């Protein structure tokens, strides 16, 4: 059983909703990332998604893009990330799921990546630009190493594709709440063309389909920027994922505020 499996099973037993917090590795800097992971855990996060900065982050909205640029400028790369994960592991055993684009991983070597990062203490990866249809090879490597490869469903996923994805689901399924890029929808600035609000009815329908196909927990993310939005998304899911709303505070060096905000999400989800 991985750290992630254990935490997901505990949440289920306690009938609690999961709170997954996305942080960008290297923001505000390396030491600050370790502090942010610890702060998120203290505030009640159950899983940390650790972003790996990339020059062309096609799924990211303005906040995560800005964080990625800052991290790259600060020198974050896979070698440093490996070291950072080892350091984080001297402080906490919270499940850590990497979130990064495939180019970096291909360049490093898929097998070597999975082996090295698993050994450092990473529990799995989310790779948004590897569609299910193209993930078989990577999935096989991950499976061999007991390393999670988290897959996505979105409001635009066909029923057939959803079934396919569910059949190989591992760890949890990431349900993207909107067709668009990352970024808090309630109150935050919207990038042009983004869905302005989360359609919870659509999430409910996606969740219903997924639940018919698999027992793997479902986590909803994209656009959740308030305790109210977290509660609404959690109605249809086992966990919620919050990124931009936390990262925007960390970008302003307001770690204390980020911690308070995460704690407010925890309180709302537990109420």
Ligand X SMILES: O=P(O)(O)OC[C@@H](O)[C@@H](O)c1c[nH]c2ccccc12
Q: Catalog residues that contact ligand X under the rule CB under 6 A.
A: 22, 49, 51, 59-60, 64, 99, 128, 182-184, 221-224, 241-245
* Min CB(134)–ligand X separation in Å: 16
Distance, in Å, from the CA atom of 124 to the CA atom of 143, rounded to the nearest integer, reads 10
Residue nearest to ligand X (CB): 243
Distance, in Å, from the CA atom of 94 to the CA atom of 122, rounded to the nearest integer, reads 10
The reply to whether 60 belongs to the active site is yes
Residues with Cβ within 8 Å of residue 216, at least 6 apart in sequence: 166, 169, 170, 171, 172, 173
Distance, in Å, from the CA atom of 97 to the CA atom of 85, rounded to the nearest integer, reads 11
* Min CB(13)–ligand X separation in Å: 25
Q: What are the backbone dihedrals phi and psi of residue 98, each rounded to the nearest 5 degrees, phi first?
A: -75, 150
The reply to whether 259 belongs to the active site is no
Which lies closer to ligand X via its Cβ, residue 154 or residue 214? 154
Active-site option among 5, 10, 41, 60: 60
Using the 8-state DSSP alphabet, how is residue 28 labeled? S
Which lies closer to ligand X via its Cβ, residue 1 or residue 23? 23
DSSP states of 172-186: -EEEESSSS-SS--S
Which lies closer to ligand X via its Cβ, residue 11 or residue 19? 19
Which lies closer to ligand X via its Cβ, residue 26 or residue 221? 221
* Min CB(58)–ligand X separation in Å: 8
* Min CB(243)–ligand X separation in Å: 2
Active site residues: 49, 60
């Amino acid at each position: 059983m991985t750290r992630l499996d254990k935490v997901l099973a505990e949440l289920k037993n306690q009938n609690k909703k999961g709170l997954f917090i996305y942080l960008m590795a290297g923001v505000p800097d390396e030491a600050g990332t370790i502090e942010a992971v610890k702060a998120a855990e203290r505030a009640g996060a159950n899983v940390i998604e650790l972003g790996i900065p990339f020059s062309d982050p096609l799924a990211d909205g303005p906040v995560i893009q800005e964080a990625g640029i800052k991290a790259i400028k600060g020198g974050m790369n896979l070698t440093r990330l490996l070291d950072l994960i080892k350091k984080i592991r001297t402080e906490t055993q919270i499940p850590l799921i990497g979130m990064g684009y495939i180019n970096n991983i291909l360049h490093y070597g898929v097998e070597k990546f999975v082996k090295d990062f698993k050994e450092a203490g990473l529990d799995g990866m989310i790779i948004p630009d590897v569609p299910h249809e193209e993930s078989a090879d990577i999935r096989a490597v991950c499976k061999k190493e007991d390393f999670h490869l988290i897959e996505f469903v979105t409001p635009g996923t066909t029923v057939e594709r959803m079934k396919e994805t569910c059949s190989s689901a591992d760890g949890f399924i990431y349900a993207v709440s909107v067709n668009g890029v990352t970024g808090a929808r309630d109150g935050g600035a919207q990038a042009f063309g983004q869905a302005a609000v989360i359609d919870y009815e659509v999430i409910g329908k996606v969740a219903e389909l997924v639940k018919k196909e698999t027992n793997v927990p479902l986590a909803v993310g994209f656009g959740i920027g308030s305790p109210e939005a977290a509660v609404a998304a959690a109605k249809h899911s086992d966990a919620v994922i919050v990124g931009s709303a936390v990262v925007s505070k960390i970008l302003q060096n307001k770690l204390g505020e980020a911690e308070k905000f995460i704690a407010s999400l925890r309180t709302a989800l537990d109420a």
